[in-house]
């Protein structure tokens, strides 16, 4: 049976890596993101890739995405809820309210809207069920200085994950979260050059190959629905996360 995945934020970074990993593993994958050209680059002509330009903060666009997936393949087996951004940087008094709301709209409300649509599809289809994997962050555990908007949304993703995991039990819907620290992507390129630490200093931090994130998501995705990885943390081994540096 065809295994069908939806990957948001698939035009670059972690989303692109995960989408290509799933395609290589035999999944059919809908690629969602705001810009058509990067989605086509991710698809790279793969016959089982479907590029669907989508603003995840727009309920109508999310509904259209999942309608396109069901029209193409008839079901949804996996959602990798990945779209998001760092948002504004600064101390709380320096954060523009509109920039705060824009970050919440994409990182949190967008994740909810996609999870909502995936949950509805998984509940209604036969055979019933599926899996949702939310991309949290190391910031779901510990913030960086000046990251209140991003950090708040990523803490909220943990609540989203736990609630979906509980509510999905009756319908064979599993939900887990992957928290990633310092995977090497365009979005995190500055970390290797120098990242601000809790003491205010700026120091380079180690990174790791993002393909290992793809492998971790593939492992979570390929579990039978009777088993679930509720939370998985993957980091560069020596990043300053565990302990005091």
How far apart are the C-alpha atoms of 82 and 69, rounded to whole Å?
Answer: 17
Cα separation values, 161 from 34, 81, 195, Å: 24, 10, 28
Are 72 and 50 in contact by the 8 Å Cβ rule? The answer is yes
Known active-site residue 150: yes
**100 vs 123: CA distance, rounded Å:** 33
- 221 to each of 7, 28, 39, 192, 215, how far by Cα in Å? 12, 13, 21, 30, 10
Q: Catalytic pick from 73, 112, 119, 150?
A: 150
- Whether 241 and 181 have beta carbons less than 8 Å apart is answered as yes
Which residues are part of the catalytic machinery?
A: 150
């Amino acid at each position: 049976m065809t295994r069908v995945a939806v990957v948001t934020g698939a035009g670059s970074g972690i989303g692109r890596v995960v989408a290509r990993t799933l395609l290589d593993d035999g999944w059919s994958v809908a690629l969602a993101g705001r810009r058509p050209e990067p989605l086509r680059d991710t698809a790279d002509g793969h016959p089982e890739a479907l590029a669907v330009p989508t603003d995840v903060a727009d309920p109508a666009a999310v509904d259209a995405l999942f309608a396109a997936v069901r029209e193409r393949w008839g079901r949804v087996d996996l959602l990798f809820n990945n779209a998001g951004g760092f948002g504004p940087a600064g101390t709380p008094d320096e954060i523009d309210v509109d920039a705060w709301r824009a970050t919440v709209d994409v990182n949190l409300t967008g994740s909810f809207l996609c999870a909502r649509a995936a949950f509805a599809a998984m509940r209604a289809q036969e055979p019933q069920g599926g899996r949702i994997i939310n991309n949290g962050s190391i910031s779901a555990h510990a913030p960086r200085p000046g990251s209140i908007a991003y950090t708040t949304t990523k803490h909220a993703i943990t609540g989203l994950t736990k609630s979906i995991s509980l509510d999905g039990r009756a319908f064979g819907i599993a939900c887990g979260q992957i928290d990633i620290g310092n995977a090497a992507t365009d979005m995190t390129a500055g970390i290797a050059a120098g990242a601000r630490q809790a003491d205010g200093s700026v120091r380079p931090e180690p990174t790791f190959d993002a393909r290992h994130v793809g492998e971790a998501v593939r492992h979570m995705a390929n579990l039978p629905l009777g088993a679930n990885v509720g939370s998985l943390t993957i980091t560069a081994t020596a990043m300053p996360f565990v302990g005091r540096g």
